Structure 1
Amino acid sequence: MTTPNLILIAIDLVAALVLAFGLYYPRHRRRDLVVAFIGVNVGVLAVTSVLGSAEIAAGLGLGLFGVLSIIRLRSSEISQREVAYYFAALAMGLIGGLSQTSVLLPAGLIALILVALWAVDHPALLAQSRHQVVRLDRAIADEAELRTELAERLGATVTSATVQQLDLVNDSTLVDVRFRVAAPAKRVAGSASRTAAPAAEGRVARAGAAR
């Protein structure tokens, strides 16, 4: 094994740790998926290092992505966000394990994957957008009435509502709803406290003068 390959393996392992412990876990707090991401990355890295070559690289990559798809279908349900982390861990292991004569391009691609996930999964990006599956205790067939009811219940602006189940017998509606919440309350509270502070000081001053 050449020196560039050893360097890439080290870069991939560091990148996998950053992905799992620096990006995913601080934001989503799922320990089981941290184990899965590290395991997928190291496993793909090991297999690619043993079998990888220029002749079989494309077929090996497609095969590994296919295996991950099977695991995705037969495992517990995970979100699309976590699927992205899975594929990032797999892609980094694949890049790090292939035989290379230069370190710059593979290292740059691994760094690009990390930067892309850091950016698109940042809490500040689309922070007001939400997604929930809601069951209402009424069977509502009218879309406009359904949106109004959801907006009142959630206290938010409904952007999309898809009825998954309309139960006219038990009088209930199961809805996949996407909505946008208002600005964080702490900002409003902070501005209110700053507005109230001068008024309170004025009242204290007037009370002192009266005494």
Structure 2
Amino acid sequence: MLHDFIILTKILGIPLIDTEDFIEMVLRFVFNSTVVLIIVRYLYFPITKRKDYLFTYLSFSVIIFFLCHLLANVKLGLGFALGLFAIFGIIRYRTNPIPIKEMTYLFIIIGISVINALANKKVSYAELITTNFLIIAVTYLLEKKYFVKAESRKIILYEKIDLIIPGKREELIADLKERTGLNIHRAEIGRINFLRDTARVRIYYYENSDEPDNNDG
């Protein structure tokens, strides 16, 4: 049976294995997975505790990497990479809203996977490693709030629906601050239940500690 398979591959013009390319693919995959794991597991997850997005990012990384790497020989190049971003941009607006931070991480993961998969021999390993290191470093600095304030969010059930109208936004923020004791700087109105006179409100506030955003359901 193995002999027949070998004969079939020769007929189709497909080599059974290209050792050099196979080893390169494995090494690139290990390198890419390591970089993605550092960003997702040690930068994103400790703060948000969102296991659903953890699974999504790792799965996206694997699929995007192999998709780009195995199709790299088709000479699709930059147009193919930009097409991927366009596709996921469409998905962003055709599915349930994804928080801006999570969407940013998704684009980071896609970008890293595309870079590591499509970088050709004109890109040295030093350049590839440096690029990945800089992405990790910048993400770390921003996530650790060296340049931005620590913003957290929660979804609460709010019963004063007379304050949710646009003209009373300042009164709404003031009431939420007084009730929660949080430094709330903005709020978004979600689902409104007029039968019970309640509304789901997503509040955004600054804090010093890294409280997980596990209430953003």
TM-score (norm 2): 0.65
- Corresponding residue for residue 88 of structure 1: 108
Aligned match of 1:115? 137
Structure 1 residue 11 corresponds to structure 2 residue 31: yes
2:127 to 81, 86, 105: 105
Matches within 5 A, 1:166-205: 176-181=202-207
After alignment, is 62-71 or 130-139 more displaced?
Answer: 130-139
- 2:186 counterpart residue number: 160
Deviations 1:143-180 (A, max 9, x none): 44333322211223443356668999965566554344
The answer to whether residue 178 in structure 2 is matched with residue 147 in structure 1 is no
Question: What displacement does 1:118 show?
Answer: 2.0
Quick check: 132-141 or 1-10, which moved more? Answer: 1-10
Match of 1:62 among 82, 104, 107: 82
Q: Which residue of 1 aligns with 2:158?
A: 136
When the two chains are superposed, the root-mean-square deviation of aligned CA atoms in Å is 3.5
SS in 2 for 1:160: strand
Deviation, 1:86, is: 1.3
Structure 1, residues 174-195: CA drift from partner, whole Å, max 9, x if none? 65543445x66xxxxxxxxxxx
Checking the alignment, whether the CA contact within 8 Å between 1:52 and 1:60 is kept in structure 2 is no
Letter in 1 for 2:171: E
- The match for 2:60 is 40
Gaps of 5+ in 1: 185-211
| Alignment check: 8 A CA contact 1:16 1:38 kept | yes
How far 1:94 sits from its partner (Å)?
Answer: 0.7
Query: 2:149 matched to which residue of 1?
Result: 126
Change (3 A) 1:108 1:163: same
Check if 1:31 corresponds to 2:51. Answer: yes
For the residues of structure 1 that align with 2:98 and 2:36, how far apart are their CA atoms? 19
CA contact (8 A) 1:8 1:103 kept: no
Aligned in 2, Cα 1:85/1:167: closer, same or farther, shift over 3 Å?
Answer: closer
In structure 2, the partner of 1:52 is 72
User: Higher Cα Rg: structure 1 or 2?
Assistant: 1
Q: Quick one: structure 1 residues 55 and 17, their matched pair in 2 at CA, closer, same or farther if it must change by over 3 Å?
A: same
Q: Would the alpha carbon gap of residues 92 and 179 (structure 1) be closer, same or farther in structure 2, given more than 3 Å must change?
A: closer
Out of 87-96 and 66-75, give the one that drifted further.
66-75
One-letter amino acid of the counterpart of residue 126, structure 1: K
Which amino acid letter does the alignment assign opposite residue 149 of structure 2?
L
**Cα deviation, residue 79, structure 1:** 2.0
Structure 1 length normalisation: TM-score? 0.66
CA distance in 1: counterparts of 2:78 and 2:47, whole angstroms: 33
